[in-house]
């Protein structure tokens, strides 16, 4: 009787969630003409995630993966107190979320907002529920069943050597392009900004101080030192205002883009070569502390203030003529937003530390699928932060001078002519309110996100009076954790290159041998530094070329991950359910192949690399133009190489599927044998 009542209540509750979700998505999708409230996006997202988690992830867990609570996980079987360790599921969830949440879900949705709020929102919701969460969940479970093996190892075992090689190549390509593009975002956020530059520069001595404090004064007190570091960073933000207003000191921190790019390259090299405990680890702690706090604060700010979205649902730029980046809504919206919908990079985390901490297989659903939902919600918040701005302001900040004109008057006139009114005086007042000299042409997404975030925060805490503090807090937050990605990424890439070179000449593989450390660090920094320099010198702002390249590389890794997942599902005799990973895989193939084709061969010089090179070749060729032509050819070659790699993995995977389905090939999956868990229910 009681059971029957509970069931009826549950059905009624989920029916209500479905109705509310449908209504919210309907309002978001259909509403035109007038601004809508941001809460519609939040409600639509909450209902979609709740439904996706309750029904879709449960279906995958039960029908395809057959999660087994009695099967001992590697954390239990191989427990060593170091990397393999049975850990509370909520602790693992927090750990996993902190590892997957980077600047991507903040920057991508801000850039894609040039199409309006609708394409980005729909892709983030559908992409996360049907693709991103599924990828993270299944890869996590498959890694758990293989003693916590990495994606590269699984690709090699399940698809063959080509799969492993491509996964390795994709990771290196993503790292190099990612590091260049995030460095470019920092450069664009900090150029000619003494306040921002001073604050970020101060985080280096603060991190060094934290390192020394941890090592010499209070060993192991990381939370304590992170709080101390946070207080010092807040003081640096406050001090930055004084610096920016001091006519003698301000010019010392007012740097051009080229200068900032060189400084960041030196920083990346130093961070890669220096001991981890001195700079990288304390900076990582500080960045994580600020990241978790700020994301929580932004969520509260949006819920409390529930701001109005001024950006229309769709803008005229869905036709591909957008100023932020060129290209039609399909496929470019889908490679611009990766991390909030599906990100190949997550598969590295799902097959890295996380599978070695999980106590029971059944927890992979909550951790893999659930943490990606939380990341997707961060992307929704970024869309809201960008779309609370008046469209004219958004385009004035995000459009490069090469498109809208170099002077404030010219830029304002161009943007107003597009139907998004903005004036030079309005932009000057806004720049003054946030403590900047100008906000025109600050491409890259970070400044627009910071202005949006400052607007939301200043409405709830402190009013317009403290908008400048909130703006610089937001810039510090983004730059801090972008630089953390930069130094950690340079180091990870260095280790990967050292591992590979160790096969050629053994000493090069020794991670403690200084000549090898310096040489490989220089090699990696030269790789991303080249693309960064190219972006800084690009008259179209750099983001136009580099962000799509990064998106393609990231989705390529997701393609590899989904190929691995589909292959394993077919080998598990669950071919009738393979669509769960096969459909997102085919979608990604369609997106990456179409985007790559456009980036290489599109006749528009703003989209196609070869078309731009041709146009440049037709005019007078001086050394600067010759370099631009070379860069366009290089970008075309990199894109083509990435796409050939996707094709190779697809071909190899399809061969495996055909072999298994026709019975020509053995179908044994390479997972570790079943061992009964010894954990009690409470321990799990």
Give contact residues for another protein (rule: CB under 8 A).
81-83, 85, 87-88, 90-91, 93-95, 98-104, 171, 174-175, 178, 182, 214-216, 219-223, 226, 275-277, 280-281, 284-285, 288-289, 292, 338-339, 343, 345-346, 348-349, 352-353, 484-485, 488-489, 491-492, 495, 511, 550, 554
CB of 214 to another protein, least distance (A): 7
Minimum CB separation of residue 7 from another protein in Å reads 25
Smallest distance from another protein to CB 448, Å: 18
Those residues with Cβ within 8 angstroms of residue 420's Cβ, 6 or more apart along the chain or in another chain: 390, 391, 392, 394, 395
In this structure, are residues 194 and 171 in contact, taking their beta carbons and an 8 Å threshold? no
* CB-neighbour burial class of residue 586 (10 A; exposed 0-12, middle 13-18, buried 19+): middle
Minimum gap (Å) between residue 89 Cβ and another protein: 9
Cα 53 from Cα 133, distance rounded (Å): 9
Nearer to another protein, 219 or 619 (CB): 219
DSSP at 352 = T
What's the distance, CA 544 to chain centroid? 17
Nearer to another protein, 333 or 488 (CB): 488
Cβ 491 to another protein shortest distance, Å: 5
Shortest distance in whole angstroms from residue 291 CB to another protein: 10
In the complex, the smallest distance separating the C-beta of residue 177 from another protein, rounded to whole angstroms, is 10
Among residues 332 and 345, whose Cβ is nearest to another protein? 345
CA-CA distance, 43 to 147, in Å (whole number)?
39
Q: Nearest 5 degrees, angle CA 648-CA 174-CA 553?
A: 50
Q: How far, in Å, CA of 129 to CA of 50, rounded?
A: 10
Residue partners of 569: CB distance under 8 A and separation at least 6:
64, 138, 575, 577, 578, 580, 581
Q: Distance (Å, rounded) from C-alpha 138 to C-alpha 136?
A: 6
Residue 320 CB, nearest approach to another protein (Å):
25
CA-to-CA separations, 473 to 150, 195, 478, in angstroms, rounded = 36, 11, 9
- Helix, strand or coil for residue 360? strand
CB nearer another protein, residue 251 or residue 293: 293
Question: How far is it, in rounded angstroms, from Cα 448 to Cα 390?
Answer: 11
State which residue, 92 or 305, has the beta carbon closest to another protein: 92
Taking the complex as a whole, how short is the minimal distance between the CB of residue 578 and another protein, in angstroms?
27
Nearer to another protein, 100 or 454 (CB): 100
**Minimum CB separation from another protein for residue 112, in Å?**
15
Residue 487 or 652 having the CB closest to another protein: 487
Helix (H, G, I), strand (E, B) or coil at 320: coil
Nearer to another protein, 494 or 571 (CB): 494
Closest separation between CB of residue 198 and another protein, Å? 25
Q: How far is the CB of 425 from another protein (least distance, A)?
A: 37
Reported for 39-44, long-range contacts at CB under 8 A and 24+ positions apart, including other chains, are 39/303, 39/306, 41/117, 41/121, 41/309, 41/380, 41/383, 41/384, 42/302, 42/303, 42/306, 42/380, 42/384, 44/121, 44/125
Contact 431, 447 (CB under 8 A): no
Determine contact, residues 20/47, Cβ cutoff 8 Å.
Answer: yes
Q: Residues with Cβ < 8 Å from 193, sequence gap 6 or more? A: 244, 254, 436, 437, 475
Measured from the CB atom, is 271 or 569 closer to another protein? 271
Of the two residues 434 and 446, which places its CB atom closer to another protein in the complex?
A: 446
Nearer to another protein, 288 or 364 (CB): 288
Contact predicate 268/486, CB 8 Å:
yes
- Residue with Cβ nearer another protein (74 or 435): 74
The nearer residue to another protein, 85 or 263, going by C-beta atoms, is: 85
**DSSP codes, 564-629:** HHHHHHHHTT-GGGTHHHHHHHHHHHHHHHHHHHHHHH-SSTTT-HHHHHHHHHHS---HHHHHHH
Three-state secondary structure call for residue 681: coil
Residue whose tokens read 């170099």: 406
Residues 6+ apart with CB under 8 A from 51: 14, 17, 18, 21, 129
For the CB of residue 633, give the shortest distance to another protein in the complex, in Å: 26
């Amino acid at each position: 009787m009681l059971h029957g009542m509970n069931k009826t209540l549950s059905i009624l509750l989920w029916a209500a969630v479905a109705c509310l979700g449908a209504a919210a998505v309907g309002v978001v999708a259909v509403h035109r003409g007038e601004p809508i409230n941001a809460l519609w996006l939040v409600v639509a997202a909450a209902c979609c995630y709740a439904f996706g988690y309750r029904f879709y992830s449960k279906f995958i867990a039960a029908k395809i993966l057959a999660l087994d609570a009695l099967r001992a996980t590697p954390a239990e079987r191989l427990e060593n107190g170091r990397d393999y360790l049975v850990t509370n599921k909520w602790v693992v969830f927090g750990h996993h979320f902190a590892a997957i949440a980077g600047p991507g879900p903040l920057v991508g949705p801000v850039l894609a907002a040039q199409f309006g709020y609708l394409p980005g929102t729909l892709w983030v919701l559908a992409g996360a529920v049907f693709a991103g969460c599924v990828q993270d969940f299944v890869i996590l479970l498959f890694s758990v069943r293989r003693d916590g093996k990495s994606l590269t190892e699984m690709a090699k075992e399940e698809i063959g050597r080509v799969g492993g090689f491509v996964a390795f190549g994709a990771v290196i390509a993503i790292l190099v392009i990612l590091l260049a593009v995030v460095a470019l975002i920092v450069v664009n956020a900090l150029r000619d900004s003494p306040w921002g530059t001073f604050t970020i520069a101060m985080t280096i001595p603060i991190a060094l101080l934290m390192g020394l404090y941890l090592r010499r004064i209070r060993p192991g007190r990381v939370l304590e030192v992170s709080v101390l570091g946070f207080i010092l960073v807040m003081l640096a933000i406050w001090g930055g205002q004084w610096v920016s207003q001091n006519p003698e000191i301000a010019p010392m921190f007012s740097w051009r883009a080229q200068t900032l790019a060189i400084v960041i390259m030196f920083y990346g090299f130093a961070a890669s070569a220096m001991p981890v405990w001195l700079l990288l680890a304390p900076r990582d702690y500080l960045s994580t502390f600020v990241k978790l706090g700020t994301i929580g604060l932004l969520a509260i700010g949006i819920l409390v203030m529930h701001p109005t979205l001024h950006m229309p649902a769709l803008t005229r730029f869905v036709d591909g003529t957008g100023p932020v980046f060129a290209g039609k809504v399909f496929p470019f919206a889908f490679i611009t937003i990766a991390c909030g919908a599906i990100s190949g990079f997550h598969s590295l985390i799902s097959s890295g530390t996380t599978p070695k901490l999980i106590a029971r297989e059944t927890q992979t659903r909550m951790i893999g699928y659930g943490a990606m939902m939380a990341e997707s919600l961060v992307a929704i918040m970024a869309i809201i932060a960008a779309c609370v701005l008046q469209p004219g302001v958004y385009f004035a900040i995000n459009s490069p001078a090469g498109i809208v004109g170099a002077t404030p008057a010219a830029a304002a006139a161009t943007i107003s002519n597009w139907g998004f009114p903005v004036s030079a005086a309005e932009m000057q007042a806004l720049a003054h309110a946030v403590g900047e000299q100008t906000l025109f042409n600050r491409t890259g997404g970070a400044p627009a996100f910071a202005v949006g975030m400052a607007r939301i925060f200043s409405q709830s805490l402190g009013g317009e009076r403290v908008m400048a503090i909130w703006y610089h807090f937001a810039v510090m937050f983004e730059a801090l954790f972008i630089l953390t990605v930069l130094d950690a990424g340079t180091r990870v890439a260095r280790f990967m290159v050292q591992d590979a070179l160790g096969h050629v000449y053994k000493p090069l593989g020794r991670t403690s041998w200084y000549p090898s450390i310096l040489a490989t660090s220089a090699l990696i920094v030269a790789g991303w530094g080249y693309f960064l320099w190219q972006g800084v010198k690009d008259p179209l702002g750099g983001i136009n070329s580099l962000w799509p390249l990064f998106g393609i590389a990231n989705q390529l890794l997701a393609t590899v991950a989904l190929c691995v997942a589909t292959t394993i599902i077919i080998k598990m005799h669950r071919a009738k359910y393979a669509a769960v990973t096969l459909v997102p895989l085919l979608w990604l193939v369609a997106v990456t192949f179409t985007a790559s084709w456009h980036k290489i061969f599109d006749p528009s010089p703003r989209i196609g690399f070869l078309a731009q090179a041709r146009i440049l070749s037709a005019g007078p060729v001086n050394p600067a133009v010759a370099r631009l032509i070379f860069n366009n050819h290089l970008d075309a070659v990199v894109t083509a190489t990435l796409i050939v790699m996707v094709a190779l993995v697809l071909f190899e995977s399809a061969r495996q599927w055909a072999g298994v389905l026709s019975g020509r090939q053995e179908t044994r999956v390479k997972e570790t044998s079943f061992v009964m868990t010894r954990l009690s229910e409470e321990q799990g």
